[in-house]
Structure 1
Amino acid sequence: MTQPLCVMLVAAEASGDDRGAGLAQALRERLDGDVRFVGVGGSKMAAQGVESPFDISQLSILGLLEGLLAYRKVVARVADTVALAERERPDVVVLIDSWGFTVRVAQQLRKRRPDLPLVKYVGPQVWATRPGRAKTLAARVDHLLSIHKFDAPYFEAEGLPVTFVGNSALSVDFSHADGARLRDDLGIAPDAPVLLVVPGSRPSEIARVLPPFAEAVALLKAERPELEVVIPAASTVAEAVKAQAGGWAHVVEGDAAKLDAMKAATVALACSGTVTTELALAGVPMVVAYRLGNFTHFVLKRLLRSPWITLFNIAAQDFVAPEFVQDDCNGPALAAAVGERLDFPGMRYAQIEAQHEALAKMGRDGPDPSEAAADAVLKLLADRRARP
């Protein structure tokens, strides 16, 4: 009797946990359940059978200085992950997003098991900054599953095969989302304006971004007392968000509530990240903001090759959604930008249309990412086995 395929999935953040869970489900369906999963992940991957040896929230690190301070912790978790691979002997390892962590895991696995197929799911954004990472990745993994159409030339030039699988954020299913249901659940009037506040999924983002967001909300509500504020909180930061924002916002949890909130929203104030694409799909005009540690920002400002940080802005080559970064991410500036969109429907509608056009350039209506990723992983294994 043959052993089931053993697939190791490694994700260190909430977005990676989501992608890993989708990939696990797609692989299980293709293999009629004849597959075993091991690895590192969060609650969604756990539901698919991935028992993580540690809580990935401790790896939710953003910023150069923070990364240096957490270096020992990262190294220890890398060692735990490599030890898991050596114990379970997977047939393939898929390393999802989280560059700083997964590239170290890849480096160690390459040394210890040179013949083990390594797949990177989501490449570093070398078109925006640090192009040398393409060469680094090519030396450590066998294949890249890309979520951007414009990724391939940068990595293929270094000899790394690339398969475009699409961005899971572009395939979010809103067919069951119901804004009216959320309003009913929270006691919000059908005609009340709703500001959706999305402060990020990392503790460092909550610490840096939520205070200016709170200041902006206070200014907005002072002039618009009827304004309702909803925060869909990621599980990784839900308690911190409730502690800081429970007094001035409705805090909701879970994917269903998040999608309902997006359909209920009039305008969004969002931390830069995957959620901006999801908001654009939901037809929500938004203001995007971000804050880094001062040292990290000082360094990255000199490395960035793009004037934009939001993916659909990059695709459009324009500030479709306004961006407020670092010192510009302050209460008065954010309140002014959000206030304009609350007060002028024409501005909202124009932005929604421009966002949809940018999504088309990003590859909306492309392949289902989980399905395409599963096909690519299985093809890689089949090609390996077919070698003489």
Structure 2
Amino acid sequence: MSAPRLYFVAAEASGDLLAREVIEAVRARVADVHIAGIGGAEMASIGIQSPIDVSALSVLGLLEGLKVYATAVRLADAAADAIIADAPDVVVLVDSWGFMLRVAQRVRARAPGIRLVKLIGPQVWATRPGRAKTLAATVDHLLCMHEIEVPYYEPHGLKTTVVGNPALSRHEWGDGAAFRKAHGISEAAQLVLVLPGSRPSEIKRVAPALVGAARIIKDSDPDRQVVIAPAAGVAAQFSEAFPDVSEWATVTVNPGERYDAMAAADLALACSGTVTSELAMQGTPMIVAYRTGWVTWALARGLLYQKTHITLLNIVSDDTEIVPEFVQTKQTPDLIAARALNWLTDPAALAEQRAAQQIALSRMREGDHDAADIAARVVLEEARA
């Protein structure tokens, strides 16, 4: 039997990380395997060089998406060309619902013999359940995070496997003491970590409020330490937008320090996203912020989104606010800093928040899953189908 031929496609930072993890799990299972793909720095770090640059797809919101629509179509065409030229047995399409759907449709039309696996599905349980039917008509297998997703796909006959939340499968515990030592931060100093996002639109819309709040926190007590960790893919944009921030904060763009920084922090101010689950795993109390364009927000709230909150820890807690959310008009430096200072000056409040997050985190667990390993097994099975 010939070696399996796999092709991974990831368009955003979180998908790039997950793709790298699954590729590593595949290689651990099968030594003789051909893997190629489209992605970013994470995939490149294990030798998967992307033939096209998909960084332009890291957008946030409806209007931003429309602005890059032509680019998305062009890149979907280019991705399909690259995939078909490689002639894989299986294509794994990671996250990024809209772009991956376009890629899948193009590959299916031109090379129907290639198996298509979607890794992480759209949040049909929160918004637009009709996407389940669309996905079922386009791919062969869905690897989803939660058992609650399966009933949406069963009526449409899509083979579905629950892998669990990838963030909860990452067994890498941060070394907070090592991080503090490396950056000259004493064990006694309070440390506030700012995670301003991984998309250009988040650096534009969310980062100013988080950085502004951090500056207020720092000014209230100069002995407090602030660490800001923008994703590597937006580091240059962050530096351009905030040229003076290194005068009062430590800025790190080293992905290898990600979990160490989380473990070192007494409190995190974070852009909403996958990072919230990672912070909870490291036991770091957090405050979440988020802002998108008003047209996108109005459509989401009025027509699409079915939940009150946006943070997964809150959604799984019966849609109640376990983690404070400062969204849209509430996303201001003053409001965020006020909540943060309330916690930082009250150790008991910080401890209560940490405990509340752990209870919410326990509700997200779906057994003893290792998401990347389960995904690797399924992908290899599809390659042999």
Using the size of structure 1 for normalisation, the TM-score is 0.94
| Contact 2:4–2:383 (8 Å) recurs in 1 | no
Match of 1:310 in 2: 311
3-state SS of 1:195 partner:
strand
| Contact 2:272–2:289 (8 Å) recurs in 1 | yes
1:204 is aligned to 2:206 = no
Instruction: Give 1:151-300 correspondences, 5 Å limit.
Output: 151-175=149-173, 177-243=174-240, 244=242, 245-300=245-300
Q: 1:338 aligns with which of 340, 347, 350?
A: 340
Please give the alpha-carbon distance, in whole angstroms, between the structure 2 residues aligned to 1:232 and 1:364.
30
Deviation at 1:347, TM superposition (A): 1.5
| Percent of matched pairs sharing the same residue | 46
Deviation per CA, 1:172-198: give whole Å up to 9, x if none: 2344x2212221222222111111101
Q: 1:363 aligns with which of 357, 365, 371?
A: 365
Deviation per CA, 1:155-209: give whole Å up to 9, x if none: 223221210112221122344x221222122222211111110111011101111
Match of 1:21 in 2: 20
Q: 1:353 aligns with which of 352, 355, 367?
A: 355
| Contact 1:92–1:117 (8 Å) recurs in 2 | yes
Please give the alpha-carbon distance, in whole angstroms, between the structure 2 residues aligned to 1:52 and 1:119.
19
Please give the alpha-carbon distance, in whole angstroms, between the structure 1 residues aligned to 2:269 and 2:204.
16
| Contact 2:313–2:360 (8 Å) recurs in 1 | yes
Deviation per CA, 1:110-143: give whole Å up to 9, x if none: 1112232110000001111111111111111111
Please give the alpha-carbon distance, in whole angstroms, between the structure 2 residues aligned to 1:128 and 1:153.
13
Greater shift after overlay, 202-211 or 52-61? 52-61
Deviation at 1:280, TM superposition (A): 0.5
3-state SS of 1:192 partner:
coil
| Contact 1:135–1:155 (8 Å) recurs in 2 | yes
Amino acid in structure 1 at the alignment position of 2:12: E
**Compared with structure 1, are the counterparts of its residues 171 and 282 closer, same or farther at alpha carbon in structure 2 (3 Å cutoff)?**
same
Please give the alpha-carbon distance, in whole angstroms, between the structure 2 residues aligned to 1:39 and 1:30.
19
Deviation at 1:232, TM superposition (A): 2.0
Greater shift after overlay, 326-335 or 224-233? 224-233
3-state SS of 1:238 partner:
helix
Deviation at 1:150, TM superposition (A): 1.9
Greater shift after overlay, 110-119 or 216-225? 216-225
Instruction: Give 1:90-105 correspondences, 5 Å limit.
Output: 90-105=88-103
Greater shift after overlay, 205-214 or 147-156? 147-156
| Contact 1:171–1:365 (8 Å) recurs in 2 | no
3-state SS of 1:39 partner:
strand
Structure 1 stretches of 4+ with a deviation exceeding 6 A read: none
Deviation per CA, 1:225-268: give whole Å up to 9, x if none: 22211112211011222331333321112333111111110111
Greater shift after overlay, 152-161 or 81-90? 152-161
Amino acid in structure 2 at the alignment position of 1:184: K
Match of 1:143 in 2: 141
Please give the alpha-carbon distance, in whole angstroms, between the structure 2 residues aligned to 1:54 and 1:111.
21
Please give the alpha-carbon distance, in whole angstroms, between the structure 1 residues aligned to 2:217 and 2:118.
43
Deviation at 1:359, TM superposition (A): 1.4
Please give the alpha-carbon distance, in whole angstroms, between the structure 2 residues aligned to 1:270 and 1:109.
37
| Contact 1:149–1:362 (8 Å) recurs in 2 | no
Greater shift after overlay, 67-76 or 343-352? 343-352
Deviation per CA, 1:362-383: give whole Å up to 9, x if none: 116622111100111122334x
**Compared with structure 1, are the counterparts of its residues 174 and 7 closer, same or farther at alpha carbon in structure 2 (3 Å cutoff)?**
closer
Amino acid in structure 2 at the alignment position of 1:187: G
Please give the alpha-carbon distance, in whole angstroms, between the structure 2 residues aligned to 1:251 and 1:148.
35
| Contact 1:6–1:37 (8 Å) recurs in 2 | yes
3-state SS of 1:140 partner:
coil
| Contact 2:144–2:160 (8 Å) recurs in 1 | yes
Deviation per CA, 1:46-76: give whole Å up to 9, x if none: 2333221122322111111111111111111
| Contact 2:117–2:143 (8 Å) recurs in 1 | yes
Please give the alpha-carbon distance, in whole angstroms, between the structure 2 residues aligned to 1:342 and 1:289.
18
Please give the alpha-carbon distance, in whole angstroms, between the structure 1 residues aligned to 2:47 and 2:118.
20
Deviation at 1:282, TM superposition (A): 0.7
Amino acid in structure 2 at the alignment position of 1:20: A
Match of 1:118 in 2: 116
Greater shift after overlay, 67-76 or 149-158? 149-158
3-state SS of 1:130 partner:
coil
Deviation at 1:108, TM superposition (A): 1.0
3-state SS of 1:236 partner:
helix
Deviation per CA, 1:272-298: give whole Å up to 9, x if none: 001000101111111111011122112
Please give the alpha-carbon distance, in whole angstroms, between the structure 2 residues aligned to 1:241 and 1:204.
11
Amino acid in structure 2 at the alignment position of 1:178: D
| Contact 2:52–2:79 (8 Å) recurs in 1 | no
Amino acid in structure 2 at the alignment position of 1:93: V
1:83 is aligned to 2:81 = yes
